[in-house]
Amino acid sequence: MILYSFRRCPWAMRARLALRYAGCAVEVCEVAMKAKPAALLALSPKGTVPVLNTGHGVLEESLDIMRWALEQNDPQDWRLQADPEGAQQADALIVRNDSSFKAQVNLYKYAERYPAHSREHYRQQAETWLAELEALLEGRAYLFAEHPSLADAALLPLMRQFAGVEPQWFAEAPYPRLRSWLQRWLASDLFQAIMAR
């Protein structure tokens, strides 16, 4: 199996997380986005990453790759099969992360491209989301259980990106549980492994 990836891409990052967690034997092909390999374009003409060639088909969306990996092996129940209601809530959270929060991260990170408002304004717009995640983490280590779920892994890369825009602000912001959640992920052997050069 070959995964076409770009190390810093949040979507590729979460695909690598799930594949590594599930123990899938995958060759990771790092793609130079300015010189995309012909093999990638033959599999996926849109030319974005991640793309997984399973040998039996091609998956072109990070969430599809994550779900496929968990179907192969899910030792910690990332799919929350023991909690169907939690699984539904996790899916809804991922949808919002991938749409509205993604848009907010882009505005905040690249504020100079969107001069209608200040970076501070864009950050404040995203704080409703941060507060919601902070509340979900009350009394537990992860968003929906005492162990990671698909939602935790899916949200991690964008939250990492958001926190990196103004690290000092994030370090002092009133979201201690969210900060601990992020640090726990970033320090994990799993994350360290998928970010190795």
Convert the pLDDT of each residue in 69-125 to its tens digit: 999 999 999 999 999 999 999 999 999 999 999 999 999 999 999 999 999 999 999
Concatenate the DSSP letters of all residues of 137-182 into one string.
TTTSSSSSSSS--HHHHHHHHHHHHHHHHSHHHHHHSS-HHHHHHH
**Which residue bears the tokens 């809530």?**
89
With a CB cutoff of 8 Å and minimum separation 6, the contacts of 153 are 14, 17, 18, 21, 66, 78
Domains (ranges, CATH) in the chain? 2-75 (3.40.30.10), 84-192 (1.20.1050.10)
Average pLDDT over residues 131-148: 96
Q: What global pTM score does this model have?
A: 0.93
